[in-house]
Amino acid sequence: MLSDGQVNNAGITGTIVTDPDGFRSAIAADQAGVGKINWKEIMIEPFEQAEECLKVNYYGPKRIIEALTPLLQLSDSPRIVNVSSSAGKLKASHGHMFTANRWELVRVGRLVWSTPLQRVTFFRTGVSVSKLRNTFLDVLLQNVINEWAKGVLNDAQNLTEERVDEVLKEFLKDFKEGLLEAHSWPSYLSAYIVSKAALNACTRILARKYPTFCINCVCPGFVKTDMNYNNGILTVEEGAESPVSLALLPDGGLLVNSLFERSCLNFD
């Protein structure tokens, strides 16, 4: 059995941290639930950075997939793993951007979006179905506050690459014209959130286009990396656990792998 996989882990925030020490202090304060943080005082989001964020986080993986798909089609068990993010979802769930204990973040990190079967799979967590629905379903879409964009990206049956591009073009247009707040886009980390929501949408499109592939999104959790000045909670090894597990699943592993405790929900 020939098995080949592709893991796409591209990520920049689309921001410039102007006060690294303030950034570290803000994360510590947010984890402790102390005070209200004005992120605009410690980081800025220039338009050029937003453009670059979309290029790296969305168009980069998309182009790599397009280039390597002919090779994956030669495999008996092709799989694609897109490393996405639910950092914005943590804010919506807990009231703070980074507030969550270690095991909650491990749960997030082990949340897998299994698009071929239109379901969510999560590993070894004991999280109830109702908890999962309320907290982690539709990764990032609750943070894309713009109702039109949310509707487009969540319309799985009619979703196309062209429609995703429309959302990104409209986002950049509003960004350039200073209309993000007026049109209800995310107030901070806006390009990052939109880029990852677009990557999730791309994953759904690919899964429909290549039904014999095992294609998933995964959030590694709040991992210590250069992107957050090593202020995450999970180690790099812990963050890599879920993407690697997906990349190395045996053929049909999403259905029969006994190492995982899982539950499934429809996206709708």
CA pair distance 152, 135, nearest whole angstrom: 21
* Domain at 3-12+46-256, CATH class: alpha beta
Report residue 141 as tokens.
Answer: 């879409």
CA pair distance 136, 262, nearest whole angstrom: 14
Burial (CB count within 10 angstroms: exposed 0-12, middle 13-18, buried 19+), residue 22: middle
Q: What is the pLDDT of residue 257?
A: 23
Q: Which of 64, 114, 87, 88 has its CA nearest to residue 246?
A: 114
CA pair distance 118, 98, nearest whole angstrom: 28
Report residue 4 as tokens.
Answer: 């080949």
Which residues belong to the active site?
A: 192
Boundaries of every domain in the chain: 3-12+46-256
What is the pTM (predicted TM-score) of this model? 0.75
Q: What is the pLDDT of residue 35?
A: 64
Q: Which of 201, 150, 157, 155 has its CA nearest to residue 171?
A: 150
CA distance readout (Å), 262 to 197, 254, 256, 257: 23, 9, 11, 10
Q: What is the pLDDT of residue 73?
A: 92
Q: What is the pLDDT of residue 47?
A: 96
Q: What is the pLDDT of residue 30?
A: 67
Report residue 224 as tokens.
Answer: 């210590």
Q: What is the pLDDT of residue 104?
A: 42
pLDDT in tens, 132-163: 333 333 445 556 678 899 889 888 889 999 99
Task: Please list the ranges in the chain whose pLDDT falls under 50.
Answer: 1-2, 87-139, 255-268
Helix (H), strand (E), coil (C) string for 180-212: CCCCCCCCCCHHHHHHHHHHHHHHHHHHHHCCC
